[in-house]
Amino acid sequence: MIDPATAGTRLMTRCDALAALSADGASKLTRIYLTPEHAQANALVAEWMTAAGMIHRVDALGNVIGRYDGMDPDAPAVLVGSHLDTVRDAGRYDGMLGVVTGIEAVDALNRAGTRLPFPIEVVGFGDEEGVRFGATLIGSRGQAGTLDPDTLGALDRDGISLSEALNTFGLDPARWREAARKPGSLHAYLEVHIEQGPLLESLGLPLGVVSAIAGATRRAYRLAGLAGHSGTVPMAARRDALAGAAEAILAVESVGRDHGVVATGGQLEALPGAVNVIPGAVRFTLDLRAAKDEDRAKAVADLDDRLDALARRRNLMLSMEPLHENAATPCSPRLMEALSRAITGRGLSVHALMSGAGHDAMAFPGLTEVAMLFVRCAGGISHNPLERITAEDAGLGAVVLHDTLLLLAKDVLR
Amino acid sequence: MIDPATAGTRLMTRCDALAALSADGASKLTRIYLTPEHAQANALVAEWMTAAGMIHRVDALGNVIGRYDGMDPDAPAVLVGSHLDTVRDAGRYDGMLGVVTGIEAVDALNRAGTRLPFPIEVVGFGDEEGVRFGATLIGSRGQAGTLDPDTLGALDRDGISLSEALNTFGLDPARWREAARKPGSLHAYLEVHIEQGPLLESLGLPLGVVSAIAGATRRAYRLAGLAGHSGTVPMAARRDALAGAAEAILAVESVGRDHGVVATGGQLEALPGAVNVIPGAVRFTLDLRAAKDEDRAKAVADLDDRLDALARRRNLMLSMEPLHENAATPCSPRLMEALSRAITGRGLSVHALMSGAGHDAMAFPGLTEVAMLFVRCAGGISHNPLERITAEDAGLGAVVLHDTLLLLAKDVLR
């Protein structure tokens, strides 16, 4: 038995307790990987794990893990994870909600004396945001066995390497590979997370099933024309790089709309940048994300065609620098189905949506199937102290996670 | 008699000689108001004035003046002026060409023993560019009697006031008002200047008659929307300030075209300016110039309508800060007619064009009629060491100025 109201209240209290563990004092939440606040968060989460009937440990990369044994201790485990690190001046639910929800679901099983055919491991990953060492998903990639060894040498802004930081945290950096889980050791990866977008709110739904974590293409473009005097060069004789870039930004927007993807021009700089000078060069960035890699490729190709055409028409030079590229992570139809059944089982409508943001779940597809449950958040706001969810929605998330674990158990036993 | 080839050669030599008087050494021309280089330029110009039969003096604001008396020493004078100061890393013709061309025309009259019914005063203004004290046209406004007294307290980047700088230059700052010419003391103001635009070059014409010096409206606009995560906010839910600003920049461009004015978005800044964040606010500038103030007002009103409409459609907040506003300076039909007759008299076609850039001539309409003769320059490039003209075009400019003075004299005598 799991009561959504009781669970919701406790989840909110626990997110508040974690929010107090901050490098920036009580008023501002900043908790970075392998800091004293991280150790405090691990310790607090470990207490809750113990109270929920789990055995806890901290792995070689500082991730805290609570294990709830199943009927067969050697059966592949269901991992329920999310992260305990934050951006600077963060919200209190991004990451943490998934960890405490995992504990809450296990607690309900434990109180009912229910053992499932598989062990459950709840994980609080130490680094997802990548604030300290630039590389994101250090914790989850470490467990998935896909962490780039070069990351151990990455430096934080004080010149401290990941290796050194592990050592200061009380871990042996030489043993970092021991964090990796063995192939075949996992049955599934589940993650509960706030949506960080406005869709569920606009649909009036507390929960949503993630269909895929978007792949992303990030690029910097440069348009070069000819700077000139704003008073003396006739309109028809101009090679105005900013007017060209303005068309390009609108092309980014309409490519996003036309292809059903999200496309953003986030940075734009006009040079020389004087009131009375026609801009001679403009640099701007693209961030284009899609649930399907082929949709992303088509959208980017379409955009390139449009940019080439406008550059030709305006007699501008176009150049491009790739910044980042990652493939989409499709969610498992089997796990999505289990989440959906759990949702409808509680009388709610199911809505599947893409995750435009990255998550720990992205690290695991090489090792096991993944799925995610999104919880509605206010105004889609996150990475911001204004991040808000309701206790009701959080409680429903714990209930659906709990029910999903039971449904997966039934499938195994069938 | 004035020979264009001889005049052209000497004009180029003299511009080269002035270009050597620089604060930044021989390789880079920077000559700022009331500096030692300014004093050197005044002295060199004074030598040339003397050689051309003129009496020279330096007025209370550091402008150098050469006077060539007419038949009646008390008749209102024709002023032929331009400036001797430069921007930093300047071209060598912007300003200086007009001063040496004035001397050249007088020299031809002097060699021919010709006295006109009016005196001619050639002026090398000390400040037009406004590099040192922020305020432009200090020299010409001083002579026109329209210099704002507050300018005397304006500070340069070393904290030196205009008053102090006049004192260091050997002038009595208390007597600055003596630079002002008396109402009724001028018959006309003529200025020869490089075009600083590409129009004459594209028409294949060495010279052009300025119809008006453009009026200008400069503003900063701000569009505010809502910053958001580039991956999680669907295209339809966005309030993207940069996409709105992109439409605004294209509106600036099309208003320029539609109204036959020049309109430029020179600066644009997107905030917060991260690759993965939808811009929440954008500031951009407008510089709109027109030969007729009513055209400028209509164009600005049209632009405001378009910006209001797009802000409403996109649910963005639009605000505006005025930066600068100056009325157009129409040129005198009588003087334009004299310049045109002089041009056709030398077998050339007449083309009238707006000056998009500001000039010393803008200071004088309260005191006398003004007109300007533009000399073709390469690629419209100026405020740049790459500023180029030909000796042939410069020589034709001197010839037309000379002939114009004779035509004005005939009109007076008629």
**Among candidate residues B210, B209, B124, B206, the one with its CA nearest the CA of residue B391:** B206
CA distance A286 to B274: 10
Please tell me the predicted confidence (pLDDT) of residue B59.
98
**Among candidate residues B121, B160, B118, B165, the one with its CA nearest the CA of residue B408:** B118
Please tell me the predicted confidence (pLDDT) of residue B27.
85
The 8-class DSSP code of residue B378 comes to G
- Closest CB from B237, B249, B266 relative to A277: B266
Q: Give the chain B residue whose CA is nearest to the CA of A284.
A: B275
CB atoms within 10 A of CB A358: 21
- Report the topology of domain B215-326: Alpha-Beta Plaits (3.30.70)
CB atoms within 10 A of CB B114: 16
- 3-state SS assignment for residue B187: strand
CA distance B133 to B61: 13
**Among candidate residues B132, B24, B26, the one with its CA nearest the CA of residue B85:** B132
> Residue B318 in contact with residue B311, Cβ under 8 Å?
yes
The overall average pLDDT reported for chain A is 96
Enumerate residues 269 to 288 of chain B having a beta carbon within 8 A of any beta carbon in chain A.
269-270, 273-279, 285, 287
| CA A137-A398-A191 angle, 5° bins | 20
Please tell me the predicted confidence (pLDDT) of residue A58.
98
How many CB pairs lie under 8 A apart between chains A and B? 202
Residue percentage of chain A with pLDDT more than 70: 100
Mean pLDDT of A33-53: 98
Please tell me the predicted confidence (pLDDT) of residue B31.
97
> Residue A310 in contact with residue A247, Cβ under 8 Å?
yes
**Distances, alpha carbon A407 to alpha carbons A335, A396, A412, in Å:** 10, 16, 9
Helix %, strand %, coil % of chain A (to 5) = 40, 25, 35
Can you give the length of chain A in residues? Answer: 414
A316: pLDDT confidence band, cut at 50, 70 and 90?
very high
Give pLDDT tens digits for A108-152: 999 999 999 999 999 999 999 999 998 889 999 999 999 999 999
Enumerate residues 309 to 338 of chain A having a beta carbon within 8 A of any beta carbon in chain B.
323
**Parallel, antiparallel, or unpaired for β B64-68 and B120-125?**
antiparallel
CA distance B269 to B275: 14
Mean pLDDT of A33-58: 98
| Partners of residue B355 in chain A, C-beta under 8 Å | 231-232
| CA B54-B184-B119 angle, 5° bins | 20
Q: What are the domain boundaries of chain A? A: 4-213+328-413, 215-326
CA distance A149 to B215: 64
CA distance B394 to A150: 66
Put simply, the answer to whether A262 touches B356 (Cβ < 8 Å) is no
**Distances, alpha carbon A133 to alpha carbons A172, A364, B223, in Å:** 18, 21, 35
Put simply, the answer to whether A235 touches B242 (Cβ < 8 Å) is no
Question: A197 — contact with chain B (CB < 8 Å)?
Answer: yes
Burial B335-346 (b: 16+ CB within 10 A, else e): bbbbbbebbeee
Structure token digits, residue B88: 């930093």
Contacts of A187 (CB under 8 A, 6+ apart): A75, A76, A77, A78, A118, A368, A408, A412
Distance from CA of A102 to the nearest CA of B (A): 24
CA distance B197 to B351: 14
**Among candidate residues B187, B178, B177, the one with its CA nearest the CA of residue B71:** B187
CA distance B394 to A77: 88
- Closest CB from B198, B230, B273 relative to A264: B230
Enumerate residues 121 to 150 of chain A having a beta carbon within 8 A of any beta carbon in chain B.
none
Q: Which residue type, as a one-letter code, is found at position A53?
A: G
A25: pLDDT confidence band, cut at 50, 70 and 90?
confident
**Among candidate residues B157, B129, B142, the one with its CA nearest the CA of residue B33:** B129
Put simply, the answer to whether A265 touches B245 (Cβ < 8 Å) is no
Contacts of A112 (CB under 8 A, 6+ apart): A1
A1: pLDDT confidence band, cut at 50, 70 and 90?
confident
Put simply, the answer to whether A270 touches B268 (Cβ < 8 Å) is yes
Please tell me the predicted confidence (pLDDT) of residue B92.
97
Put simply, the answer to whether A380 touches B289 (Cβ < 8 Å) is no
Q: Residue A375: left if φ>0, alpha if ψ -120 to 50, beta else—which one? A: beta
| Partners of residue A237 in chain B, C-beta under 8 Å | 198-199, 202, 380
> Residue B78 in contact with residue B188, Cβ under 8 Å?
yes
| CA B386-B387-B389 angle, 5° bins | 125
Distance from CA of B214 to the nearest CA of A (A): 8
> Residue A85 in contact with residue A31, Cβ under 8 Å?
yes
A169: pLDDT confidence band, cut at 50, 70 and 90?
very high
Instruction: Tell me the CATH number for domain A4-213+328-413.
Output: 3.40.630.10
Kind and range of the H or E run holding A65: strand A64-68
Please tell me the predicted confidence (pLDDT) of residue B26.
79
Q: Which residue has the tokens 């709830």?
A: A68
**Distances, alpha carbon A279 to alpha carbons A274, A276, A307, in Å:** 8, 9, 18
Structure token digits, residue B155: 């500070």
Q: Give the chain A residue whose CA is nearest to the CA of B267.
A: A273
Put simply, the answer to whether B266 touches A230 (Cβ < 8 Å) is yes
> Residue A265 in contact with residue B243, Cβ under 8 Å?
yes
Distance from CA of B47 to the nearest CA of A (A): 34
Give pLDDT tens digits for A211-258: 999 999 999 999 999 998 999 999 999 999 999 999 999 999 999 999
| Partners of residue A198 in chain B, C-beta under 8 Å | 232-234, 237
Put simply, the answer to whether A256 touches B262 (Cβ < 8 Å) is no
- Closest CB from B233, B265, B275 relative to A267: B275
> Residue B13 in contact with residue B391, Cβ under 8 Å?
no
Task: Give backbone dihedrals phi and psi of B263, rounded to 5 degrees, phi first.
Answer: -135, 130
Kind and range of the H or E run holding B317: strand B317-326
Q: Evaluate whether ipTM surpasses 0.90.
A: no
Enumerate residues 13 to 32 of chain B having a beta carbon within 8 A of any beta carbon in chain A.
none
A26: pLDDT confidence band, cut at 50, 70 and 90?
confident
pLDDT in 10s for each residue of chain B, 414 residues: 899 999 999 999 999 999 999 999 878 999 999 999 999 999 999 999 999 999 999 999 999 999 999 999 899 999 999 999 999 999 999 999 999 999 999 999 999 999 999 999 999 999 999 999 988 899 999 999 999 999 999 999 999 999 999 999 999 999 999 999 999 999 999 999 999 999 999 999 999 999 999 999 999 999 999 998 999 999 999 999 999 999 999 999 999 999 999 999 999 999 999 898 999 999 999 999 999 999 999 999 999 999 999 999 999 999 999 998 999 999 999 999 999 999 999 999 999 999 999 999 999 999 999 999 999 999 999 988 999 999 999 999 999 999 999 999 999 888
Question: A203 — contact with chain B (CB < 8 Å)?
Answer: no
Please tell me the predicted confidence (pLDDT) of residue B162.
98
Residue A179 predicted with pLDDT over 90: yes
Please tell me the predicted confidence (pLDDT) of residue A109.
98
Enumerate residues 213 to 252 of chain A having a beta carbon within 8 A of any beta carbon in chain B.
214, 216, 218, 228-237, 240, 242-243, 245-250, 252
Q: Give the chain A residue whose CA is nearest to the CA of B247.
A: A246
